[in-house]
Amino acid sequence: MSATPDFPEPSASAKVRLVATLPAARTKGNVEVPGEVAGMSEQDFARRYASMQRYVGWTDSDAQRVAALWPLVAPHAKSLIEDFYAEIQRHPDASRVITGGLAQIERLSQTLREWLTQLFSGNYDVDYIARRWRVGYRHVEIGLEQRFTSLVISRLRTGIKQALCASWSGSPEELAVALGSVNKLLDLDHALIQDAYEFEYVRRQRQFERERGERKFRHLVENASCLIMIVDATRAAVYFNPYAESATGYAAGEVERAPELVAAILGSGEAELRVAAVLAGAGPAAYETQIERRGGTPRWINWTLSRIDGIDDEPAVLAVGHDVTEQRRAAAQVLQANRLATIGEMYARLAHESRNALQRMRVCTEMLTDQLVASPDASELLKRSEHAQHDLQRLLDEVRNFAAPIVLEKTECRLHTLWREAWNLLQSVRRDRRAELIEATSAAGGEPMRLDRFRMVQAFRNIFENSLAACGDPLRLTVSCRPITRDDATWLELTVDDNGSGFSEAAKERAFEPFFTTRASGTGLGLAIVRRVVEAHGGEVAVANVPGGGARIAILLPGQLQVSSESEANGASVGRLP
């Protein structure tokens, strides 16, 4: 609403009388005090009406003069009211708001009579203002266009003038002054009704636009392919979109009730400092962090934090996160592929000369063996040379296998068959050892799966060889296999535990790094090959220490497996292989 021009103050008596009528309570009867609706105090609202009075030059004399006119107007009130509603019914745009027929017109007629009575009452207090504002609000509620307000006021003005002229007994000059006072009051009523109409109409339009904007925003964020969270100044989440629920595994209600979850999802630690800085007005913050998804794998999230106006215009933080886990994995795979390509290129250059050199060494060793049969010391040296040649050949073979591209040839296999085959292939290695393979498995290990038999046997063999080399006797290797649910998908979890000393912290960090080994004779490619094989099948592999001692290799393979309750009940059964 536009500002009202500043006119000279009304007489002291008029201003004091108006303000003195303000009620102590904020409501009077069933009439809403306009100041509450408009966001102004009662005093402010009274001053607003006083400003309107100044605009038209309203005085106490006008109020007294209008009050004295009611006896002349009252006999004509019925005809004024009938004419008012007869005219409304002649205009379709206006009559459409009369939905209750004659009964509604009778009620409205009584209301209009009360309005006329109040108009000529001479008492124009906050109660009077509230009733006029209520007329404006009601017009918005029923959808009556504002132009009809101007037209009906004009028609009432004409009717009142005709009634006064018909009943007037004084001089024409006094009649002109009286009509001037009536016109001022009708103009003030018209201004009040329009003011309320405009205020309520604009308020509803703004509310409509705000609600439409909120619907658009909600539709946008609820269908966005990124994590969106709004955090208020208390570090509580006031919004958590569906993608964020899927990416983190937490429902919106859980996050909104747990500030510690908000901190964990944003990355904890420095994330708290970043949120505080953004709330303080430091500008947007962007960073990448790793979060733990409930019941799933860690996820890498690229967060951008920005300050927005939250509830009640309090500052809040809009956190938008992009899941870059797959990009990071892809980048790691590209890096690994480049490394393997480099190894393969190097191996291709060395392979030919190395094989020729090894072949010549073997021929020479065999010839010397025949010639030095009578020399035990020399024969022992030749045996060591043969072992060294064998180790070098093994290294070359492992490098070749590691660097060569993996092309899977999948057939229908059962995991327990594959690990048993790998164990049997190591009979010569464990011939003089006290070693046993223990199967603590459910029927999951016997479910048919499409796997590359040769590659998976190679992976199991590498795992078993590591344990045979790292553990003393008696060696116990325990294989477990069970279905699990992670990230709303079914996986098969297979673990191989030994009873050795386990991994050191450094070994756990570098276990799958090519050429890393803690053994004097190891190549450092065994677990690296295991990871390549498992990842080629779409799975994952990790190392850990078994509670109570020992090392664990955990393999996850994707697959929809249906294990019966009977099979699960038998999952703890233990069998031994030689």
495 DSSP β-pair partners: 480, 554
CA distance 521 to 361: 20
User: What pLDDT is attached to residue 177?
Assistant: 93
Q: At 340, is the pLDDT very low, low, confident or very high (cuts 50, 70, 90)?
A: low
Q: Where is pLDDT greater, at 569 or 449?
A: 449
The residue among 303, 298, 304 whose CA lies nearest residue 326 is: 298
What is the average pLDDT across 488-505? 87
Q: Is the C-alpha dihedral spanning 44, 48, 51, 53 positive or negative?
A: negative
User: What pLDDT is attached to residue 311?
Assistant: 65
The answer to whether 59 and 118 have CB atoms below 8 angstroms apart is no
User: What pLDDT is attached to residue 570?
Assistant: 44
Residue 460, pLDDT > 90, answer yes
| 203 Cα distance to chain centroid | 30
The answer to whether 94 and 88 have CB atoms below 8 angstroms apart is yes
What is the average pLDDT across 452-478? 90
Q: Where is pLDDT greater, at 385 or 15?
A: 385
Helical H segments across 404-446, by residue range: 415-425
- Strand, coil or helix: 68: coil
302 DSSP β-pair partners: 288, 322
What is the average pLDDT across 393-402? 67
Residue 565, pLDDT > 50, answer no
pLDDT in tens, 204-263: 788 888 888 878 877 887 888 899 999 988 888 888 999 999 888 899 888 988 888 888
H or E stretch at 576: strand 574-577
pLDDT in tens, 142-165: 666 667 777 778 888 898 999 899
CA distance 96 to 91: 9
User: What pLDDT is attached to residue 361?
Assistant: 77
Residue 372, pLDDT > 90, answer no
Q: Where is pLDDT greater, at 29 or 555?
A: 555
User: What pLDDT is attached to residue 208?
Assistant: 83
SS3 per-residue string spanning 349-401: HHHHHHHHHHHHHHHHHHHHHHHCCCCHHHHHHHHHHHHHHHHHHHHHHHHHH
Residue 569, pLDDT > 60, answer no
What is the average pLDDT across 496-518? 82
- Rounded mean pLDDT of the chain? 78
What is the average pLDDT across 341-369? 70
Residue 400, pLDDT > 70, answer no
Across 81-85, 228-232, 372-376, 386-390, the highest mean pLDDT is recorded for 228-232
The answer to whether 365 and 386 have CB atoms below 8 angstroms apart is yes
N-term to C-term CA, the chain: 93
What is the average pLDDT across 98-126? 79
User: What pLDDT is attached to residue 553?
Assistant: 92
CA distance 43 to 105: 36
User: What pLDDT is attached to residue 395?
Assistant: 65
User: What pLDDT is attached to residue 71?
Assistant: 92
User: What pLDDT is attached to residue 402?
Assistant: 65
Residue 350, pLDDT > 80, answer no
Of 71-80, 248-257, 376-385, the range with the lowest mean pLDDT is 376-385
- Percentage of the residues of the chain whose pLDDT score is greater than 90: 16
What is the average pLDDT across 193-211? 78
User: What pLDDT is attached to residue 321?
Assistant: 92
Of 53-62, 230-239, 303-312, the range with the lowest mean pLDDT is 303-312
Q: How far is CA 268 from CA 232, 263, 366, in A?
A: 16, 5, 66
CA distance 137 to 33: 12
Residue 292, pLDDT > 50, answer yes
